Structure 1
Amino acid sequence: MIKKRLILVRHGHCDKSGTYCGSTDAPLTKKGRSQALAVAEKIASVPISVCYYSPLRRASQTARILCSSRRIRALPAPALKEIDFGLWEGLTYSEIAARWPDLAERWLADPAGVTIPGGEPFSAFSGRIRRFLQNLSKEGSARNILIVAHGGSLAALMMEILGKPVSEFFKLLPALASIQKVDWRSRGGSAEPC
């Protein structure tokens, strides 16, 4: 089984940062563009074969900044979109907890056991992330792969790669504009922050 190195990057700051921003297509702010430029500098010497990115603007703009000067082939991957938060879109956790106290508490304890009103079931979300990884494992030639996505998408990827239970999901959420290197085979891997 060929080992792949995944370089996972969460998008930079957007005007919806601090809220539940899943399917909302928010662009990067000036701060977010600066963060993406800083990430580009940090990974400038890292060999990258290909980049897959979420087509939502905050991630696609980050990917464009990371890939354009290096002429890295960048491909949109709809499976990497953030979970759709339905009626929670654009709200802070405090606002959600005030309107749906029981559901909000259960969400933090077990996201797989909660369906957000009007949102995407966690099982559907984690299923598309799992399928993305399965397809990635079949791509034989690319060994150093840049993935630019969202907090939830990257946490779900890490959950799958490291074999962590859903109860670890929130512990795996990366910070904005963070970088994580993951050495991965289709049957598991190890991770380290950059």
Structure 2
Amino acid sequence: MTCIDLLRHGEPAGGERYRGSGVDDPLSEQGLEQMWRAVGGRAPTSGPWSRIISSPMRRCLDFAAPLSRALNLPLTQVPDLREVGFGSWEGRTPTELRQNSPEAFLAFFRDPMRARPRGAEPLEDFRRRVDGALDDLIRRHEGEHLLVVTHAGVIRAAVCAALEVPTEAMYRIKIPYAGVTRLRRDDRGMMLEFVNRRHLADSA
């Protein structure tokens, strides 16, 4: 059995705004604390994982790197686990978009496949790269327990894949900062064990 814990990054510096693959803010102090709390505190001496996998973006890697050192676990960056690209919405806040482009903002949530922000990564392309990255991890690390430090969009895509639900449903899944989602893969296929736990100590 292969187990994958998907940990969303904590709050980034700069507050709430759309950060896809085009905005690479670091974690805020609070965001870093959120992530340490999720794994049991700032001085973990052990964990259930065999290795740590991270998106290359700072809001993920700035936590994954010190955690890998603390636990003496190998760390691998996987570029295909970066967040979906939001095009012209990169760096803009939901409040700003609601005020300045209300029709486009609401259209996106009604039809995220076709009502994309200008220049945004096509959602079907995003799903293909995330599905491919996860399939590759499972193939390379069969039987291991992985911690994947990544983004809300990646976790949404993984949940959709595990449940075989349409990509259009992605944005109906809320993923909080530093929430943990667990997938298991065995000879029966992929199973979703839980979504959005805040403390892995509750997840044994």
TM-score over 0.5 (shorter chain): yes
Q: CA deviation at 1:142?
A: 4.8
Any unmatched runs of 5+ in structure 1? none
Instruction: Please say if residues 159 and 192 of structure 2, whose CA atoms lie closer than 8 Å, have aligned partners that are also in contact.
Output: no
Task: Please state whether the residue corresponding to 1:180 is helix, strand or coil.
Answer: strand
Quote the residue 1:59 is aligned against: 60
Change (3 A) 1:164 1:44: farther
Name the Cα RMSD after superposition.
2.1
Residue 29 (structure 1) aligned with residue 31 (structure 2): no
**TM-score w.r.t. structure 1 length?**
0.89
Any unmatched runs of 5+ in structure 2? 198-204
Task: Please state whether the residue corresponding to 2:40 is helix, strand or coil.
Answer: helix
What does 1:53-132 correspond to in 2, within 5 Å?
A: 53-132=54-133
**CA–CA separation in structure 2 for the residues paired with 1:146 and 1:109:** 32
Q: Which moved more, 1:152-161 or 1:40-49?
A: 40-49
Q: Equivalent of 1:12, from 10, 13, 38?
A: 10
Aligned letter for 2:35?
Answer: A
Task: Please state whether the residue corresponding to 2:183 is helix, strand or coil.
Answer: strand
Quote the residue 2:190 is aligned against: 188
Q: Which moved more, 1:167-176 or 1:120-129?
A: 167-176
Task: Please state whether the residue corresponding to 1:152 is helix, strand or coil.
Answer: helix
> Aligned pairs, how many?
192
Instruction: Please say if residues 12 and 58 of structure 1, whose CA atoms lie closer than 8 Å, have aligned partners that are also in contact.
Output: yes
Q: CA deviation at 1:140?
A: 4.3
Aligned letter for 1:6?
Answer: I
Task: Please state whether the residue corresponding to 1:160 is helix, strand or coil.
Answer: helix
- Percent identity between matched residues is 26
Task: Please state whether the residue corresponding to 1:116 is helix, strand or coil.
Answer: coil
Q: CA deviation at 1:27?
A: 0.3
